[in-house]
Structure 1
């Protein structure tokens, strides 16, 4: 195995076929440095290895729980340090409660109340709201020479859905959505104000829902009794961080994938019954979260043919695994007729104990958006600019993401 870590570029992370083919062909796990970082990690690129890593009890998320500690390179700490820049210190604790960073009993304690309240009934009951909001947003954009499907549709839709789920009162939604926009996907100038506004509003919402419960997530978490008030505020940030930007970007990238494959777009418009296959195929094909959370070896052991040292960092390339030719026939091809096996059949929502709690909601929102944009409209969306003029940016540790998607509806 090459002892020199491979320094990945955003272009390589973004290319599921050429970018990962060489890594997959090597025996064991190579060392790689993710874009914008300096700390190396073992990179898992094969589908079966990825599934195994996500359920391996000797690979944990909380580095502080490695027995005896570790002084090995830590890409997760480097990434978190970059992400925390500019945040008021008194609010940082609300950003450190991400479920992806806990293991075992503590992960179960934090996740179970959310799982018990994030019910199929609650997700199903949101569908009419998602449909109404999507239709209103589309109506506002239809007929314009150019509309941004990311900034003017996907982000507002996902933000409204999270506010509705949590229980933000209708009269407060514009104000709270503004804070969320500033915090989660604005230009960065209002990030501290957005963070503070969300924290103080959610604290007040918890007090009000304790006095007068409603049919919303905050009330359900209070009734469940498994979380402190501060942990409920942290849940709101978990939903903002995982339930707005990634889904919004996925919706835009999914539509771009269809625009890049016009025969698939036409097929979906002509055969709406293919929606049930198109949703998981787009999730697999796009895999918005390209690189999973860092895992740490709790002891010296061999994994995927590679001797790991205690404390060594391991990272799962979810995008690469979802394009593994050993798991998918012609994985580079977008095929909305593709049949998946048991379960998801892909790793876009992860796997094992940290499987995404919002997966069902993500599927509902994706299905509604494809219905409203593709199967229920006489004319499908089309790009309003040349394909080379579609703009992308990238974040540390990941591939490219859309900065906007100019379309005509």
Structure 2
């Protein structure tokens, strides 16, 4: 079965196209954006194997089929900072770097952050006009303010960070290039500030580690900013859209706020922030799903399909907010499981609880023109105009 992945991810009927990829064998051949043949993994258990078996590498330098030297659209001088992200590392480097940064995302630290998340959420909801674009006026500013405070970015600089972070997802190469340069230059300057005047923030803690060099600190900061921020932005707006499309289930959450935690897990399963995961590369031949994947093969896990595998989820194509399952693939699996998962869950639970408490009759402002998804591997809305009653 040969699948044209780019057609599915750019189709106006994206969900219908992706649902077709769920059918058939759990391991199949697909065509990547540049025409290269890759292996696409769609079964839940098979994806878990890809994400946890050491025969699959995250490091693009350990494969020869795909050329990533110029596909990112990033300026050459900043590309190394993004290429060295945690998601592109294998042990022992990944183990060392994750150990150093994971202390900033402990359960205890996230619990201490919750009152501040609640406060920021309240301020943003207070400022919403009667008709609002929840993408630009809630989904973007909330996580960027939280991650900036966690890292130690001064309040007066956070608007710039917000513009740069949003520019990183632009399809305009000039906007993306300017945003990436701005982020890297600013983080390098902030690192020097934290060396001279350390605080209680995460960036100061990273700077204090003698074993971390400056490019690693910059790369880790970028990883935390972009991975955590974009995921939460997509899930806030996408979750609201799911509630608007399922008014009966929204009513249940409005009358039972304690059910929001389970609902967030189902949002993450049903329409997580990324339909596909980052590439893994076989270091040797691997038997998977009845197929022998050769060595040096790019392997892409399709989270959309894994989260709808009927072998793991009854009625997988139904949104059931009482499903109560947290074993989805929205945050990955294994040693690369999202560091900021607890923080993202806290933000999502707080924002949905408060939004429904304040605006139980939330509605689409223009139901005749439903929102559209941006093309590409991420599941993100362009806009979400709602009417607040």
TM-score, normalization by structure 2: 0.92
Q: How many residues align?
A: 384
Q: CA deviation at 1:184?
A: 4.3
Q: Higher mean Cα deviation, 385-394 or 346-355?
A: 385-394
Could you list the per-position Cα deviations for residues 41-87 of structure 1 after superposition, in whole angstroms to 9, with x for gaps in the alignment? 11111111111111111111114335xxx4xx33xx45x7332x2x3
> Where does residue 172 of structure 1 map in the other structure?
157
- Does residue 60 of the first structure (1) align with residue 68 of the second (2)? no
Q: 1:386 aligns with which of 360, 367, 370?
A: 367
Assess if the C-alpha contact under 8 Å between 1:163 and 1:177 holds in 2.
no
Q: Post-superposition shift, 1:226?
A: 3.7
Q: Report SS of the residue matched to 1:389.
A: coil
Q: Residues 252 and 402 of structure 1 are in contact (CA less than 8 Å); yes or no, is this contact kept in structure 2?
A: yes
Pairing partner for 2:28 from 20, 30, 46 = 30
In the alignment, does 2:80 pair up with 1:93? yes
Aligned position for 2:99: 112
Structure 1's consecutive aligned runs of 4 or more residues displaced over 6 angstroms after TM superposition are none
Is 1:244 equivalent to 2:235 in the alignment? no
In the TM superposition, residue 400 of structure 1 has moved relative to its aligned partner by 5.7
Q: Does residue 81 of the first structure (1) align with residue 70 of the second (2)?
A: yes
**2:265 paired residue number:** 280
Offset, 1:18: 3.4
* Deviation per residue, 1:339-362 (Å, 9 max, x gap): 22xxx3111100001100010011
Q: Which runs of 5+ in 2 are unaligned?
A: none
Match of 1:39 in 2: 36
The alpha-carbon distance between structure 1 residues 15 and 359, as it changes in their structure 2 partners (threshold 3 A), is farther
CA shift for structure 1 position 168? 0.5
Query: What CA distance in whole angstroms lies between the structure 1 residues aligned with 2:380 and 2:155?
Result: 31
Q: Distance in 2 between matches of 1:48 and 1:209?
A: 44
**Range with bigger deviation, 5-14 or 272-281:** 5-14
The equivalent position to 1:160 in structure 2, one of 145, 152, 158, is 145
CA, structure 1 residues 178+367, in 2 after alignment: closer, same or farther (shift >3 Å)?
same
Counterpart in 2 of 1:103?
A: 90
Query: Residue 149 and residue 188 in structure 1: after superposition, are their counterparts in 2 closer, same or farther (change >3 A)?
Result: farther
TM-aligned CA distance change 1:147 to 1:100, over 3 Å: same
Q: Report the counterpart of residue 137 of structure 1 in structure 2.
A: 124
Q: Is the 8 A contact 2:3 2:30 kept in 1?
A: yes
TM-aligned CA deviation for residue 193 of structure 1: 3.0
Change (3 A) 1:168 1:186: farther
Matched-pair contact (CA < 8 Å) for 2:4–2:31: yes
Whether the 8 Å contact between 2:62 and 2:281 is mirrored in structure 1 is no
Change (3 A) 1:381 1:81: farther
Task: Report how far residue 255 of structure 1 moved.
Answer: 0.9
TM-aligned CA deviation for residue 218 of structure 1: 0.5
**Counterpart for residue 350 of structure 1:** 332
Separation in 2, partners of 1:357, 1:405: 28
Structure 1 CA distance for aligned equivalents of residues 262 and 249 of structure 2: 12
Shift of 1:260: 0.7
